[in-house]
Structure 1
Amino acid sequence: MPKVLEVCADSVESAVTAARSGATRIELCSALAAGGLSPDEDMYRMVRERVDIPVRVLLRPRSGDFLYSDAEYELLRRQVRRFAALGADGVVIGILREDGTLDAARMAGLIELAGGCGVTLHRAFDVCRDPLEALETARALGVDTILTSGQQAACTQGAALLRQLVQAARGKPQILIGAGVNAAVIRRLQPQTGADAFHLSAKHTVESGMRFRREGVPMGQPGLSEFAIVRCDGAAVRAARAALDALCPA
């Protein structure tokens, strides 16, 4: 499979910056601070109007675990159907059973609705019971990509499992390394794992343009500044692309 530098973006501005800075694919979501949730249709349409690289859409109805109620599963079904119809290059999904195994039946239902577009199994994989078993289940379902940190908080801590997964997968599905990725991490992990696909958000904080500021009135989680806006850092994406190109020439 071709090398991948995927950037996770939760705004139109970040998606455009990522595409201009060398990303090969966008994972579009909302609410990166919550680990990424489903975006809305209008944001997707605006991104598609402005970028010319593939866009996969993260579909996650809420933060928290990946054991979904019937209503949450129905919402996922509707979202997969909608974004596939809109021409998304892929959907990014994941559902677990209460015993920690991949919910193959529900995943199969979503993949059927995706209608042949690409399918990434997201980091639900990183909290499953048995990663090698989940890899084989994903392969049988037709998943083409697994996003993983090697079942650790940061991918650098999961290097041993990542190498094992890359060797076991043999490109089907492609192992996409995420969680803490930057140029230095690519230079470190690519030789250790043999991976040719990396996922990063390249976040940096942009100062708000507000001159009048009423402090101490949080709109969300207390402690998070309302005047610090998180966007994609183009320089970080360019550095990551240069590192990947050096290690995985075309």
Structure 2
Amino acid sequence: MLEICIDTLAGIDAAIAGGADRLELCAALSVGGLTPPQSLVLRAAAAPIPAHLLARPRDGDFRYDAGEAALVADDIRLAAEAGLAGVVIGASDAAGRLDADLLASWVAHARAEGAKRERPLSLTLHRAFDLCPDLLEALDTAIALGFDRILTSGGQPKAADALDTLAELVRRADGRIGILAGSGVDAANLPAILATGVPEVHASCRSPAGAPGEAEQRFGFQAGPSLATDPAKVSALRRILDGHRTLNNTNI
């Protein structure tokens, strides 16, 4: 399963052209992704592959007050109303562990919104997980809460630097929850990441899309070079994944 995170309309088309299985809809990928605009959500809902909405109301930590928690609940409702396949959520408590109470309320809300439309929302726990002091404890919490998968880099900034941890998470999950490996995934490190046993991978597959405009930088409208989803990079991951699947099927 290849999930590509995108933050533009062109990114949707590029991910599909490259062979993505699923989209994660975001804004501001430069800060790890924020909640996308409704206009992008509605366009993605018409895409031929499933799309999951990232519900993250701001950058920084994942400790949310009541107002921010309400924004995430609204984003979950938007995903359900638009007909998306799922949502990506996460929250931390003051100690850095998962905020189980808040997450439980969002999970219940997502289940209820999906039931209204007779289309369950798939639930991904995002990389707030990676900041937890005990990843195995957090894994058990995510399972108890009813998440379908965890997006994780194994507690390190890049997934390729946490291969042993990813393998341990897969073993501990034992099919009870999916492990979606993400952060810094590319064609060079994907074989090693797949060797951990993860069933799904997540990548942005972006390339520079031209030099920043002088006037745009001067006025503060652009911080640096633009990056865009590169269908060739998506295709490279697709080929590796297909080869990995063929090899596994042959071995069986």
Q: CA deviation at 1:215?
A: 6.6
C-alpha distance in 1, partners of 2:217/2:238? Answer: 40
From 132, 135, 144, the equivalent of 1:131 is 135
Greater CA deviation, 199-208 or 7-16?
A: 199-208
Letter in 2 for 1:53: I
Residue 215 of structure 2 corresponds to residue 219 of structure 1? no
Letter in 2 for 1:162: L
Residue 153 of structure 2 corresponds to residue 157 of structure 1? no
Residue 7 of structure 2 corresponds to residue 6 of structure 1? no
Corresponding residue for residue 245 of structure 2? 248
C-alpha distance in 2, partners of 1:202/1:216? Answer: 24
How does 1:78-117 map onto structure 2 within 5 Å? 78-115=74-111, 116-117=120-121
C-alpha distance in 1, partners of 2:151/2:245? Answer: 19
Residue identity over aligned pairs, in percent, reads: 39
C-alpha distance in 2, partners of 1:53/1:44? Answer: 13
Unaligned ranges ≥5, structure 1: none
How does 1:11-26 map onto structure 2 within 5 Å? 11-26=8-23
Letter in 1 for 2:197: G
Residue 180 of structure 2 corresponds to residue 176 of structure 1? yes
Letter in 2 for 1:19: I
C-alpha distance in 2, partners of 1:142/1:215? Answer: 45
Residue 217 of structure 2 corresponds to residue 204 of structure 1? no
Q: CA deviation at 1:127?
A: 0.3
Q: How many residues align structurally?
A: 239
Provide closer, same or farther for how the CA distance between residues 15 and 126 of structure 1 changes in structure 2, counting only shifts above 3 A.
same
C-alpha distance in 1, partners of 2:242/2:37? Answer: 33
* Deviation by residue 1:176-225 (Cα, 9 ceiling, x = unmatched): 0011101221112212x111211000011112697xx537514257xx33
Aligned to 1:66, the other structure's residue is in SS state: coil
Q: Is the 8 A contact 2:45 2:82 kept in 1?
A: no
Provide closer, same or farther for how the CA distance between residues 91 and 217 of structure 1 changes in structure 2, counting only shifts above 3 A.
same
* Deviation by residue 1:3-36 (Cα, 9 ceiling, x = unmatched): x100000011011110121100000000101110
Q: Is the 8 A contact 1:196 1:248 kept in 2?
A: no
From 184, 192, 197, the equivalent of 1:194 is 197
Letter in 1 for 2:167: R
C-alpha distance in 1, partners of 2:150/2:212? Answer: 38
Higher helix share: 2
How does 1:44-83 map onto structure 2 within 5 Å? 44-49=41-46, 51-83=47-79
C-alpha distance in 1, partners of 2:79/2:217? Answer: 38
* Deviation by residue 1:48-99 (Cα, 9 ceiling, x = unmatched): 23x2000000000000000111111111111111211221101000011111
Aligned to 1:108, the other structure's residue is in SS state: helix
C-alpha distance in 2, partners of 1:177/1:46? Answer: 26
Post-superposition, which runs of at least 4 consecutive aligned residues in structure 1 deviate over 2 A? Answer: 213-216
